[in-house]
Structures are given as structure tokens and as C-alpha cells.
């Protein structure tokens, strides 16, 4: 799955403007204890000034003082200013480091900064660049003062005010001021914080001032979503200019119109159109045609991220993709739209914020937080969504990367914000059958069959990219399987969204302990559920799973000849608010066989903080149930 | 006038002059000519699970004007997962705007329905990206790449620093042909394990051919040591006669403004430090004091260089510096305190080992300090690592070589006649690091083990524990003891000797451990290991690099548990010893019960730090058994 634009919006710095800040802000001595709690750094002072000159044109002056309390906040000493050579210039960069008492230690200017091309795993070519400096904190606490002026001549929406630059950071005082013409259609919305600006006007120029003081640090918790916790003030003007292209984001409809205009190159050559029609002309229904063309896309195209200038938003022409057989998410989505168009099926590209459990776009506040594009086919009563960057996704499935949130459909009538579907636990299944043949000497042979759908399937299909040896190791580690002496593994069929995996395992010693006439076993090859939630006194943020799921395992254990069951592991039936776990054991004396059936269900992707402890105890109870032993003894 | 080493490094990355010479007959297919067998190829013969294979990689100095080497690569894509290899990135050096790669041409060859289809790479789709001040990159995506495609691309380049036969992908054939007639100051240094299939000329000859076939890919493996060192390659070395021997390199460095000049400069406020050091009795105390003083004052700025940048004086005042600056401060203060020391120029694992037989200034990336304490003991100090201990060799250079420059000898005698002032030495730590647990507990009838444990860690184990504690914070650090097992609860925690390098770290915990699996009839006793063991790293069946543990490590875990009344031992694991075939690892387990007290003891002694990949099957089998033995439990039964 690939992202649309590789431009990260760092909001780090500012500008001195010659004003003198109170001396005590430079010394670490005056930080109140309440702001040190759970904090690794403290924003002592921050002032951002947004001078909106015209649509798409803004001068940002930034000035901040951040005290770094310990090495966990060392990243605050790394200043990164992303820019684009043609549209974004930084000047008057001044970075100073002060010791605990406020004595100046070191200064950096633009010439001291590393000037690098931005890069990530998904992107081959981009014109995004960054200026960076990595200051080394000699002794904690140390205070870093950053100021600069940024002349930005391209934006869709303005850089947000994040107040805290990450978790475990407190704020003594932070201010943002915006100067904007009353006709610019300036609007704002806050998230996770209630803020009211002071508003002043001077003719048509309006000044908004937001200020916060004494904000406590937010403690880091596992599997929390930062957009649910961190305060953010989003703002924008209705008109914008993006890499020289004018647009309007006063409504989703208008923003969609602008994107629609960028997506206009969908024509394929007449010869190719004939070929594509011919490929599908014997297929009866539109849905089957779409399915066929999606598979055609998956087999023939590949993801390549090339984003230059407006190319961050405007896809390659469909004919280019057709010719080169590659493109990024928007180029591939637009190409798929073009293929469907040739056979008379209407489809819409859709902008989305991708990532597991990521923030949905707001119906009431049009703002550009998108980073990905997918495709939507509005079949009657059967809206179908396609992830066009995946060579392996089954037709019509999205998965946790894009499901369960809003997406902006780009239609000929403009943008329409709609919800993407969400998978249920039944869509993400791990089912398994295990046969274990135990021998009197404690050795064993086991056969494992796994049937996976949804995200489990996707993971196992992705694993096939690895070397065979690495895949085996991954299986042993992921399922916590005891290391066998012989491991034959067959990554089996992948058909209609069902992935099958077969393993043959041989053990010299499968028995945990043997003594006298007794044998003690862990009664399975793997346990069904491995997650443990750390014990915590007070969880404050909601806990997220990537997807709801269900698992099952039926294990048949053939007992060693001459042995019988002394005691079976206890059956268990456990419940919590969002699922249940059952395990039961049956001993068939005639076959000298133990059959266990284990089932696990999780029917949510979010557990509220208030129910965290319930979940933690439930997981502990599952672990306990799974650890019970099978005890055998020699037949009399 | 003193020269800067940095300038020297930059100026040496230049084109080597070449003379025209006709290319030898290639043993690779001509551009675009593809055999039917390769079109039909479904998998790599010698590595069938590879997603793609380099069919050939060919570099030749053919005497054409401009960039001297023509380079051609052909890759077969076997499946969907291999399609990513159709995106190519070629980096080159461009400090002064040089063009390091040019004349790029490429095509994709597909074979469908009995027809060969060729799609050329469009010039417009080739991008030249300025990465930073020093580097640029040519980037392009090959067109029409699918499962079964063959891609081929060719370009001209400078003579590379090395010819790599081995990559992440398997390579069927790789050949280079050098022709540097007219430049006598050149040689090649091979780092290969497989025989060549073609070899002409000696390493110092101006005309050379080397070719290798069927080269397995090099995966990332645990304990690989240095990946760079493990790749089969031939390095191309321009011989600068001024620095062609170790003494010459040493002489140049000692005279350089960013090395020798900075080595022994006075630092502000040093007199108090020196005076304090002089009051200390033993050499060890003095060394520890100076090492800790520099380590605690100075913050390493993250730069590994074997020369100074700001200089020691400025760095000292700013309390931050690069690796050479920080360690030169240690050298200077030791010297002032009367301790003999010398700079040891090194290359860390990320850069790869210094080759004693191939004197080269380009092999270095940092400086540490060598301290010969007495005839039996010496230290190597690196004060950039906040968690380093003075009496433990720096971990990132273990089992490699360092170049020792003794400035005292170097300056007072005729350099060229005296090799003693400069020598290459092997860096290893022969004293094993140690981890031990002494555990005293009582097992309750409900299957809980309550007790206390003392965990003692020396050398690298101590350094790692201190680092983990600092970077995670106290609370998260204790979570690592639990290793995702809520059955273990840490009730109290104390640690000792964190600041005394010469003593091992002692951590004392009171704990409660719910013994998993226990029920009303049986209790299964296992020892909490407080995460001193990781999971078995050697699950992989194959191995392509040597295993480099770096240092020797010994473990001992001794637990004494009072048994609950009403229970008796039902199964006791055997007391046994397993020994690796080469006797380099010994595992001993002792289990005994005596009048209601259970004693379990594990001892692991590993007295070798490097295992050749040929010995991997034995090592893997030993680890498998050992982890089995560690997981065996004592079973108690209700009476």
C-alpha cells in the first residue's frame, strides 16, 4: 500500500524577530513540576505568525524555545525543515542551544544545515527536499531556540498548529497569530482541545490569536492513535494555489472539482481501447468485467512512486501508465478508472487518509489531510472499492489500511465525502487443523493446515516474498512454535480470498517433561492467541487493534501407544465485552485420541480506555488456559 | 604547511587516468541478445526461492573517452515479488558537480505467446536527483516489468571503489575487466570465498579480468558482524605512493592539522582534572577517572571521523565533538596524568574491517585510544559511548584491526626506519562477559513462586543493561524483565555499582511469579530468567555469513526454592552436560531436591566468539538442544 504524497508537515520552528524573551525562559530552573511530569521536553515558548498574503501564498515566522529534559527527547534537537526549491524558501534560520542556566552553547545557521533529497521506501523520485541539523545535547537539561522565516508559495490547506510536537511533551506557553484578509474565506477547527481565538481587525486585515498555557504532557501508551489524543488546530483559506494551480476548498464539492480536473487524462489510444474491449466482450456482467480488469491491472502494473511538483496531486496520464506499466496510487487508480471507462463502467477515484485506524476526514470541515487514493465503482446497491496499488488484494476488498473511514469521491459533479466499508471479524479469519502423532519416546510428528482470509491471508501472501528459510523462521516466531527437527512447509493455494498453508513438523522431543511412567505435554503445536496487554494502573487512551478477527484451531492428538490420559487440560470459556475465547478437550478412549477445539473472537477494533483492564485480565486468563498441560501415563 | 586529512579524502576520489585498449571478448551476451533458455527461465538454478536473479553484471574499461568503465546488468524477474527490482537507483559522487554516471540505456524484454517484445527505457524517464552536497543519484523505473521479464541496462561510470560480486539478489555471472595501463599506482584487493571462473593478470597488473559464477545472495543474518565484510568483492585501490605503507600513513596523520596537531592540545580547566588524577593511586583508577570525566562531559555529535573537524579545544568548550575529538581528549589527559597511551585509528563494523595487508587511509572511520597498562593488560578506550566501560574493549570494533600510532616514538625517531611506532593490532576481548542470577524463593501451594533474585552483569552485559535502563526509563525497563509475561510481577527493584566501571552491575529484585500451567494437582516449576536470554537466534536452517558474537559470554543461574507442603516432586529434569563438537560451548544443568528444597542450576560457557558458516549446523543444533533444556520444567504433584 502506498502513500500519495511524501511530504511530511513538520512544524518545528520560528523566528526571533529581534524581540527579547524573558531570561528565565532560557534557564531550565523555572519549569514547574507539573509540566515535568511524564514529559521529556517542555515547550517554554512558541510563537508562530502566519501572514497569509494571497491564496497559496503565506509567510510563516516561527520562534520557539524547547527545553530537552532527557535523552528520550533527543529528537527535539533535530530540526528538519522540508521544502521545495521552487515553492518554499526558508530564510533567517537561527538555531541556538543553551545550557541549564541559559548560557549560549552553540549556534547554527542555514549554511550549517544538511540539504538533502527527501526519500522513503515508497518513493523513487520526488522533488521534496529538507534542510536538517542534528544538534547533540551535551548535558540535560538543554534548551534549543529555533527561529526562521518560511516563504511558502504553494499549499492546499495551511500547516496545522500541533501545540505539542508529540507525546510526553508539555507546554508552558504557545501562541499562534494569523493575519488574513477578510475576503480570503479563512476558517479553522480544533481537535482534542477547546480553543477560542482573540479576533481583531484593521481594515480588511483580520488578526486571529490563539494562545495556550500550562498544558501537561500526554503519556505514551501502546496501541493508542495519536489523532485521538493530540491537540491540533487545523486551518485553511477557501482559495488556494498548489504548485501554480488555483483551486478552492470551501466545500468538499469544490475541492473534488479541482482534483477531478487534474485527473482528466484518462484517454487510451483507440487501438488499446479496442484491445481492452475485446478482452472483456465475452464477460456478461459489469461486475465480472470490473473483476477481470482489476486482475489485469494487478498482473500487468506495478507501483512506482514518482512525484514532482503538481505530480504530487496530478496523476500520470492513463496512456503513460498503459505504456510504461507503472504508476503511483493515483496514477494506478486513474488508470483503472480509464480501463473501466473503456468498457462503459463508471468509477470514481477517492482520496483517503491511509493507515491503520487513521483519522477520517470531517464532513463539516473540508481540509486536505489525504495521503492516498483508491477507486470506487458505484454499482447499483453494490458499491465496490479497489486498492489499485496491491497486486494481491482480492477484488473489492480494502483492508485496515483504508477501511472504516471517510473518503472523498472525485466525481464529475465535484467531491463527495462518503464512508468506506469496514471489515467484520468474519472477514479476517484464521482457521487451523492440527494433527499430532505422539510416540512413546516423547518424539512426535505434526501436520498443520491453516486457512486464512482477510488480513491473515494478506500477511501470509506477503510473507511469500521472503526466502523459504526466512518464511519458516517467521512461522516459528509468529505462532511461537517449538523449534522442530524437521520442518517441511508448503505455502499452498491462494484462491478466492482464501489462503492455505501446510506444515509438516517432526520433533525428536515434543514432550515437555518425561519421568517414570508419565509424560507432560503442551497440548498443541501453537497457542491460538499470543497478545498480552501490559498491566497498567490507569489507561487513559483507547486501545486499537488493526482489525476485528476470529480464530479457531482443532487439534487431534494421537496418544503414544501404551499410554493413556491421566488428566486433560481444563476446559475454559472466557468472555469480555468485545469477544470470547473457548477451549475444550475430549478424550476418545477407543481411538486413544484427544481432540481439542479452541475458538477466539474479537469483534471490535477499539477497546475504550475504561475497559482496558478488563481486556488485560481477559488476555491473562486466556494465556493461563492455554498453558494447561496434558498429562499421560503408561497403561496399567 | 599542515594538510587536512579531509581534503585528502576528497581529492583522492578522482578519475583514474586511462588509456585506450580494446575490450576482451565478453563472456556475457551482447546487449539485447537474450537466449531462449533465459526467456523461459522460471527460477534461479542455485537459489530457487529467489524472486529475481542477476543474469550477469559486467564492467569493462574499453578505452572509450569520458567515463572509463562501461557497466551492463541484466536481471531476470521471476515473480510478482521481484517486480520491485525494476526500479533502479545508482548513486555517484558529485561534490563539484561531476557527472559520475552517463550514457544510460535500458530495455525490458518480455516473451509472450512465442514472441519477444522489447520495450526500451525512455530517456525522459531517467531522473538525476541531487541527494546532498556530496552525492547524486540516477533513478529510473524500467517499463513493462512483469513476472518473467528480463531487464537490461547499461551505463558508463567512474572506476568504482570495489566490484561487488554479491548482492541481495543471486548473481549467475559477474565479471570485470580492468585496463589501467599508464597508471602504475593501482592495485586490486580481493575479498572472495568462491573460486574465479576467469582470472587474468595479477592484482598489481594494469590489465585484469576476474569473473565469478553462481553467487548466492547475502541475506541479513543475526550476528553477521559486518555485512560489508561478508560480501564477496574486489576492492580497487589507487596507490598514492605517499601513503602506500602503514608507516607512511602514520607519518602523514601525525603531521596533519586535523590529526597530529590536535592530538595533544591543552584543554581549558584541565589542570584540576590532571591534579585530581595524579592523586589517585593505581593506573586503573587514573584511567577510569579520566575516561569517565571525558565521557560524562562530552556528548558525541554522532559523527564518526578519523580526523578532527572543530578541533579538540573548541569541541571541549562546546562539550560536543566527533569521535576522534572526544578520544583525543582522553589521550591528552592520560598523557598529562602520566599514563602511557596512543591513538588507535579504527574502522567500526558498519564500515568493515581494516585489512592489515592492504595499508589504506580510506579504511578508517574513527579513533580510539590504546592504553598498554602492563605486560599482561591493555585497554582500548572509546568515550563516545556513554555506556562504555574503561576496562571493556569497544563493542563495535571487536574482532577487527586497529592502526596504532605511537606519537612519542613517531616524533622522536626517524619514521621511515622505524616500524614500531606504527603497527596494526587485532582487537579482541578475551575476558568473558558474565550474567548470573542467584534466586531464592518459596513455592506456594497455589502455584506461585515468591522470592528474590540478584542479577549480576559484567562488561557488555552491564553496558547493555545500563543503556536499556536509560533509554526506556525505569518503568519500561522493568517491563523488559517480564518479556510480555504478566505472570511475573516485580515487587521491588534496586541496583548497585552503576557508576563503578570496575564492578559488575548488581540488580536486586523481589518478585512473584505465577508458575504457568499449574492446577490443583500439579505445579510446573520454571525459573524466571529476567530476560537475560533472548529467544534462540539460530532458527534459520541455512547460513551464508560467519557468526560473530563479538565477545565471550558466560551465564550461570542458580536457584533454590522451598517446596510447598503437601507437594512432592513428580518429575525432575536430568542433571546433564552438553558440549558442542568443538568444545567451544558447554551447557550444564543440575537439578536436585533435598528435604523439601529444590535446587536448579544452569551454567553456559561460550569460549569462542567467531564461528565459521561451515560450523553453523553444529552451532544451530547445540542452541536447539540448549533452549530445549532451559525450558524443561520440574513437576510437583500434590500428595
Among the partner-chain residues A300, A532, A627, the one whose CB lies closest to the CB of B484 is A532
Residue A70: what pLDDT? 92
Neighbours of A198 (CB within 10 A): 10
**Residue A570 Cα to chain centre, angstroms:** 39
pLDDT digits (tens, 9 = 90+) for A543-556: 999 999 999 999 99
Could B143 and A325 be called an inter-chain contact, meaning their C-beta atoms sit closer than 8 Å?
yes
Bridge partners, A125 (sequence order): A306
d(CA B83, CA B104): 20
Region A255-283 average pLDDT: 95
Mean residue pLDDT across chain B: 90
Q: Rounded to 5 degrees, what are φ and ψ at B363?
A: -80, -15
Cβ contact A136–B299 (<8 Å): yes
Q: Which helix (H) or strand (E) holds A254?
A: helix A252-262
| CB-based contact, B91 to chain A, within 8 Å | no
Neighbour-count burial for A6-27, b at 16+ CB within 10 Å, e otherwise: bbeebbbbbbbeeeeeeeebbb
Instruction: Answer yes or no: do A532 and B485 touch at CB < 8 A.
Output: yes
Percentage of chain A beyond pLDDT 90 is 90
- Residues sharing a CB contact under 8 Å with residue A125, sequence separation 6 or more, in sequence order: A305, A306, A307, A308, B127, B129, B139
In the predicted model, is pLDDT for residue B407 greater than 90? Answer: no
How do residues B464-506 score in pLDDT, each as one tens digit? Answer: 999 999 888 898 999 999 988 999 999 999 999 998 888 999 9
Cα dihedral B418, B422, B428, B429, rounded to 10, equals 80
pLDDT for the residue numbered B393? 95
pLDDT average, residue stretch A315-333: 96
Peptide bond into B267 cis (omega under 30): no
Give the whole-angstrom CA distance, residue B590 versus residue B560: 12
Q: Which of B144, B516, B628 sits opposite A325 (nearest CB)?
A: B144
Q: Which chain B positions have a beta carbon within 8 Å of A71's beta carbon?
A: 470-471
Instruction: Provide, as residue numbers in chain B, all residues whose Cβ is less than 8 Å from the Cβ of A115.
Output: 132-133
Closest by Cβ to B146, choosing from A136, A300, A518:
A300
Chain B residues in contact with A391 by the CB 8 A cut-off are 80, 83
How many beta carbons lie within 10 A of that of residue A147, not counting itself? 21
pTM: 0.91
Residue-wise pLDDT for A79-111, tens only, equals 999 999 899 999 999 999 999 999 998 899 999
Percent of chain B with pLDDT over 70: 93
Compare CB distances from B521 to A324, A326, A567 and report the shortest one's residue.
A567
Q: What local confidence, expressed as pLDDT, does residue A3 receive?
A: 42
- Whether the CB of B84 is below 8 Å from some CB of chain A: the reply is yes
Convert the pLDDT of each residue in B101-152 to its tens digit: 999 999 999 999 999 999 999 999 999 999 998 999 999 999 999 999 999 9
Q: How does residue A441 score in pLDDT terms, banded at 50, 70 and 90?
A: very high
Q: Does B219 touch chain A (CB under 8 A)?
A: yes
Chain mean position to CA B597: 46
Cβ contact A324–B141 (<8 Å) = yes
| Cα distance between residue B608 and residue B579, in whole Å | 13
- From the centroid of its chain, how far is CA B478? 28
Q: Is B83 on the interface with A (CB under 8 A)?
A: yes
A627 closest CB neighbour out of B133, B144, B517 = B517
Contact across the interface for A323 and B143, Cβ inside 8 Å: yes
* Nearest to B236, CA basis, from B153, B177, B166, B169: B177
Mutate to test the interface with B, among A317, A627, A630, A634 (most CBs of B within 10 A): A627
Looking at the predicted structure, is the pLDDT value of residue A12 above 50?
no
Decide: A389 and A458 in contact? Cβ < 8 Å. Answer: no
Interface with A, mutate which of B299, B303, B630 (most A CBs under 10 A): B299
- pLDDT confidence bin for B6, thresholds 50/70/90: low
Q: Please answer whether residues A401 and A392 qualify as being in contact, where contact means their C-beta atoms are separated by less than 8 angstroms.
A: no
Element (H, E) at A215: strand A205-215
Closest B-chain CA to A106: B318
For residue A11, pLDDT beyond 60? no
Contact A483 B540 (CB under 8 A): no
Higher-pLDDT residue of B228, A348: A348
ipTM of the complex: 0.91
From A114, A485, A513, residue closest to B635, measured CB to CB: A513
Answer yes or no: is pLDDT of B21 > 80.
Answer: no
Residue B327 has pLDDT above 70, yes or no: yes
Q: What is the DSSP string of A105-167?
A: EEEEEGGGSEEEE--BTTEEEE-EEEEEEEPPPSSSSEEEEEEEEEEE--BSSPPPB-SSSSS
Nearest CA in chain A to B630: A512
pLDDT at B18: 37
Q: Which of B81, B542, B628 sits opposite A509 (nearest CB)?
A: B628
| B-interface mutation test, from A128, A481, A483, most B Cβ less than 10 A away | A483
Cβ of residue B520 closer than 8 Å to a chain A Cβ: no
The pLDDT value given to residue B4:
60
Range with lowest mean pLDDT among A124-128, A335-339, B247-251: B247-251
Which site among B43, B87, B474 would you substitute to test the A interface, given the most A Cβ atoms closer than 10 Å to its Cβ?
Answer: B87
C-alpha distance from A417 to closest chain B C-alpha (Å): 34
What is the number of CB-based contacts under 8 A between chain A and chain B? 153
Write the CB contacts of B196 (distance below 8 Å, at least 6 apart in sequence): B210, B211, B212
CB contact under 8 A, B570 and A514: no
What are the pLDDT digits (tens) for B333-387?
Answer: 999 999 999 999 999 988 889 999 888 888 899 999 999 988 888 999 999 999 9
Interface test with A, best of B43, B51, B80, B138 (most A CBs within 10 A): B80
Q: Measured between CA atoms, how close is B384 to chain A, in angstroms?
A: 11
Percent of chain A at pLDDT > 70 equals 97
**Best of B135, B304, B319 to disrupt the A interface by mutation (most A CBs within 10 Å)?**
B319
Quick check: B145 and A520 CB within 8 A?
no
Identify all chain B residues contacting A532, using CB atoms and an 8 Å cutoff. Answer: 484-486
Nearest CA in chain B to A77: B301
Rounded mean pLDDT, A398-419: 97
The residue-averaged pLDDT of B442-456 equals 97
Candidates A468, A487, A627; nearest CB to B49 = A468
Q: What is the pLDDT of residue A120?
A: 83
Amino acid at each position: 500500500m502506498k502513500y500519495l504524497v511524501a511530504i511530511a508537515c513538520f512544524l518545528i520552528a520560528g523566528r526571533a524577530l529581534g524581540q527579547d524573551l524573558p531570561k528565565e525562559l532560557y534557564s531550565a530552573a523555572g519549569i514547574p513540576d507539573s509540566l515535568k511530569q511524564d514529559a521529556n521536553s517542555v515547550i517554554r515558548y512558541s510563537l508562530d505568525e502566519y501572514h497569509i498574503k494571497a491564496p497559496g501564498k503565506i509567510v510563516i515566522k516561527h520562534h520557539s524555545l524547547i527545553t530537552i529534559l532527557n535523552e528520550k527527547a533527543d529528537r527535539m534537537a533535530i530540526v528538519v525543515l522540508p521544502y521545495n526549491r521552487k515553492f518554499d524558501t526558508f530564510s533567517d534560520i537561527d538555531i541556538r542551544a543553551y545550557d541549564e542556566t541559559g548560557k549560549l552553547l552553540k549556534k547554527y545557521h542555514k549554511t550549517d544545515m544538511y540539504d538533502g533529497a527527501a526519500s522513503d521506501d515508497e518513493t523513487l523520485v520526488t522533488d521534496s527536499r529538507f534542510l536538517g541539523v542534528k544538534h547533540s545535547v551535551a548535558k540535560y537539561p538543554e534548551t534549543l531556540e529555533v527561529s526562521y522565516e518560511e516563504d511558502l508559495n504553494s499549499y492546499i490547506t495551511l500547516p496545522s498548529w500541533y501545540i505539542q510536537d508529540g507525546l510526553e511533551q508539555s507546554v508552558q506557553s504557545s501562541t499562534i497569530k494569523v493575519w488574513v484578509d477578510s475576503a480570503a474565506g479563512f476558517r479553522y477547527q480544533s481537535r482534542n482541545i477547546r480553543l477560542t481565538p482573540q479576533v481583531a481587525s484593521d481594515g480588511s486585515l483580520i488578526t486571529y490569536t490563539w494562545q495556550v498555557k500550562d498544558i501537561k504532557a500526554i503519556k505514551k501508551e501502546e496501541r493508542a492513535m495519536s489523532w485521538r489524543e493530540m491537540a491540533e488546530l487545523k486551518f485553511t483559506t477557501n482559495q488556494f494555489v498548489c504548485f501554480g494551480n488555483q483551486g478552492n476548498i470551501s466545500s468538499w464539492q469544490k475541492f473534488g472539482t479541482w482534483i477531478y480536473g487534474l485527473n482528466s487524462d484518462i484517454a487510451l489510444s483507440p487501438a488499446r481501447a479496442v484491445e481492452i474491449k475485446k478482452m472483456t466482450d465475452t464477460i456478461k456482467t459489469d461486475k465480472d468485467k470490473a473483476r477481470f480488469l482489476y486482475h489485469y491491472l494487478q498482473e500487468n502494473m506495478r507501483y512506482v512512486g514518482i512525484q514532482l511538483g503538481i505530480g504530487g496531486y496530478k496523476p500520470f496520464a492513463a496512456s503513460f501508465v498503459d505504456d510504461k506499466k507503472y504508476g503511483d496510487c493515483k496514477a494506478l487508480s486513474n488508470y483503472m478508472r480509464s480501463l473501466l471507462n473503456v468498457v462503459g463502467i463508471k468509477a470514481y477515484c477517492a482520496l483517503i487518509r491511509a493507515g491503520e485506524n487513521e483519522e477520517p476526514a470531517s464532513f463539516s470541515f473540508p481540509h486536505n489531510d489525504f495521503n492516498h487514493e483508491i477507486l470506487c465503482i458505484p454499482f447499483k446497491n453494490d458499491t465496490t472499492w479497489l486498492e489499485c496499488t496491491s497486486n494481491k488484494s482480492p477484488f473489492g476488498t480494502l483492508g485496515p489500511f483504508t477501511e472504516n473511514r471517510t473518503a472523498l469521491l472525485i466525481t464529475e459533479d465535484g467531491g463527495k465525502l462518503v464512508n468506506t466499508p469496514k471489515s467484520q471479524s468474519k472477514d479476517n479469519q484464521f482457521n487451523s487443523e492440527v494433527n499430532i502423532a505422539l510416540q512413546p519416546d516423547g518424539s512426535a510428528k505434526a501436520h498443520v493446515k491453516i486457512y486464512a482470509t482477510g488480513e491473515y491471508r494478506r500477511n501470509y501472501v506477503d510473507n511469500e516474498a521472503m526466502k523459504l528459510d526466512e518464511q519458516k523462521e517467521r512461522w516459528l516466531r509468529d505462532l511461537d512454535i517449538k523449534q522442530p527437527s524437521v520442518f517441511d512447509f508448503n505455502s499452498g493455494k491462494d484462491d478466492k480470498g482464501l489462503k492455505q498453508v501446510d506444515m509438516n513438523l517432526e520433533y525428536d522431543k515434543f514432550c515437555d517433561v518425561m519421568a517414570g511412567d508419565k509424560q507432560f505435554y503442551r497440548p498443541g503445536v501453537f497457542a491460538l492467541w499470543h497478545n498480552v496487554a501490559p498491566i497498567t494502573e490507569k489507561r487513559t487512551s483507547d486501545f486499537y487493534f488493526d482489525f476485528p478477527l476470529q480464530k479457531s484451531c482443532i487439534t487431534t492428538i494421537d496418544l503414544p501407544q501404551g499410554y493413556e490420559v491421566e488428566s486433560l487440560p481444563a476446559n475454559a470459556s472466557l468472555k469480555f465485552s468485545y469477544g470470547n475465547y473457548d477451549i475444550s478437550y475430549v478424550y476418545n478412549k477407543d481411538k486413544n485420541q484427544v481432540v481439542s477445539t479452541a475458538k477466539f473472537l474479537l469483534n471490535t477494533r477499539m477497546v475504550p480506555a475504561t475497559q482496558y483492564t478488563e481486556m488485560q485480565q481477559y488476555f491473562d486468563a486466556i494465556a493461563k488456559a492455554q498453558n494447561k498441560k496434558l498429562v499421560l501415563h503408561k497403561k496399567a | 604547511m599542515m594538510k587536512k586529512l579531509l581534503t585528502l579524502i576528497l581529492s583522492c576520489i578522482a578519475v583514474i587516468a586511462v588509456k585506450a585498449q580494446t575490450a576482451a571478448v565478453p563472456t556475457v551476451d551482447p546487449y539485447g541478445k537474450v537466449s531462449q533458455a533465459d526467456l523461459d527461465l522460471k527460477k534461479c538454478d542455485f537459489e530457487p526461492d529467489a524472486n529475481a536473479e542477476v543474469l550477469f553484471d559486467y564492467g569493462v574499461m574499453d578505452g572509450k573517452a569520458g567515463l572509463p568503465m562501461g557497466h551492463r546488468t541484466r536481471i531476470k524477474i521471476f515473480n510478482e515479488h521481484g517486480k520491485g527490482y525494476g526500479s533502479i537507483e545508482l548513486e555517484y559522487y558529485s561534490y563539484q558537480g561531476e557527472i559520475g554516471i552517463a550514457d544510460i540505456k535500458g530495455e525490458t524484454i518480455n516473451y509472450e505467446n512465442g514472441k519477444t517484445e522489447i520495450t526500451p527505457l525512455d530517456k525522459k524517464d531517467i531522473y538525476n536527483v541531487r541527494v546532498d552536497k556530496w552525492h547524486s543519484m540516477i533513478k529510473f523505473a524500467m517499463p513493462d516489468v512483469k513476472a518473467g521479464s528480463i531487464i537490461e541496462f547499461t551505463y558508463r561510470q567512474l572506476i568504482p571503489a570495489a566490484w561487488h560480486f554479491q548482492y541481495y539478489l543471486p548473481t549467475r555471472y559477474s565479471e570485470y575487466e580492468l585496463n589501467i595501463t599508464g597508471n602504475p599506482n593501482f592495485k586490486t584487493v580481493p575479498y572472495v570465498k568462491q573460486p574465479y571462473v576467469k582470472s587474468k593478470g595479477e592484482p598489481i597488473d594494469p590489465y585484469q579480468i576476474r569473473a565469478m559464477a553462481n553467487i548466492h545472495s547475502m541475506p541479513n543474518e543475526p550476528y553477521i558482524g559486518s555485512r560489508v565484510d561478508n560480501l564477496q568483492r574486489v576492492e580497487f585501490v589507487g596507490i598514492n605512493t605517499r601513503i602506500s605503507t602503514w608507516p607512511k600513513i602514520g607519518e602523514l596523520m601525525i603531521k596533519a592539522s586535523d590529526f597530529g596537531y590536535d592530538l595533544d592540545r591543552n584543554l581549558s580547566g584541565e589542570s584540576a582534572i590532571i591534579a585530581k588524577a595524579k592523586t589517585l593511586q593505581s593506573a586503573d583508577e587514573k584511567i577510569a577517572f579520566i575516561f569517565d570525566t571525558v565521557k560524562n562531559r562530552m556528548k558525541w555529535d554522532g559523527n564518526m571521523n578519523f580526523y578532527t573537524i572543530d578541533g579538540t579545544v573548541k569541541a571541549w568548550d562546546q562539550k560536543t565533538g566527533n569521535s576522534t575529538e572526544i578520544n583525543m581528549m582522553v589521550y591528552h589527559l592520560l598523557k598529562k596524568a602520566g599514563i602511557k597511551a596512543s591513538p588507535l585509528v579504527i574502522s567500526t563494523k558498519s564500515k568493515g574491517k581494516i585489512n592489515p595487508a592492504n595499508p589504506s587511509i580510506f579504511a578508517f572511520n574513527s579513533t580510539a585510544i590504546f592504553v598498554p597498562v602492563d605486560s599482561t593488560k591493555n585497554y582500548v578506550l572509546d568515550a563516545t559511548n556513554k555506556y562504555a566501560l574503561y576496562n571493556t574493549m569497544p563493542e563495535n570494533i571487536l574482532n577487527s584491526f586497529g592502526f596504532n600510532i605511537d606519537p612519542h616514538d613517531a616524533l622522536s625517531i626517524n619514521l621511515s626506519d622505524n616500524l614500531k611506532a606504527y603497527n596494526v593490532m587485532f582487537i579482541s576481548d578475551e575476558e568473558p562477559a558474565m550474567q548470573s542470577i542467584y534466586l531464592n524463593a518459596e513455592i506456594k501451594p497455589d502455584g506461585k513462586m515468591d522470592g528474590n533474585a540478584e542479577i549480576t552483569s559484567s562488561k557488555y552485559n552491564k553496558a547493555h543493561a545500563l543503556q536499556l535502563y536509560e533509554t526506556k526509563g525505569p518503568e519500561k525497563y522493568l517491563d523488559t524483565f517480564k518479556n510480555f509475561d504478566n505472570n511475573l510481577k516485580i515487587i521491588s527493584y534496586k541496583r548497585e555499582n552503576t557508576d563503578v566501571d570496575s564492578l559488575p552491575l548488581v540488580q536486586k529484585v523481589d518478585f512473584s511469579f505465577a508458575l504457568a500451567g499449574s492446577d490443583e494437582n500439579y505445579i510446573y516449576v520454571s525459573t524466571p530468567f529476567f530476560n537475560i536470554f533472548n529467544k534462540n537466534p539460530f532458527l534459520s536452517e541455512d547460513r551464508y555469513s560467519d557468526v560473530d558474537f563479538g565477545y565471550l559470554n558466560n551465564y550461570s543461574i542458580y536457584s533454590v526454592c522451598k517446596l510447598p507442603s503437601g507437594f512432592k516432586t513428580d518429575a525432575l529434569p536430568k542433571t546433564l552436560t552438553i558440549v558442542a563438537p568443538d568444545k567451544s560451548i558447554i551447557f550444564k544443568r543440575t537439578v536436585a531436591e533435598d528435604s523439601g528444597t529444590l535446587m536448579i542450576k544452569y551454567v553456559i560457557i561460550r569460549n569462542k566468539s567467531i564461528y565459521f558458516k561451515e560450523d553453523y549446523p553444529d552451532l544451530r543444533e547445540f542452541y536447539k538442544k540448549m533452549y530445549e533444556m532451559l525450558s524443561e520444567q520440574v513437576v510437583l504433584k500434590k500428595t
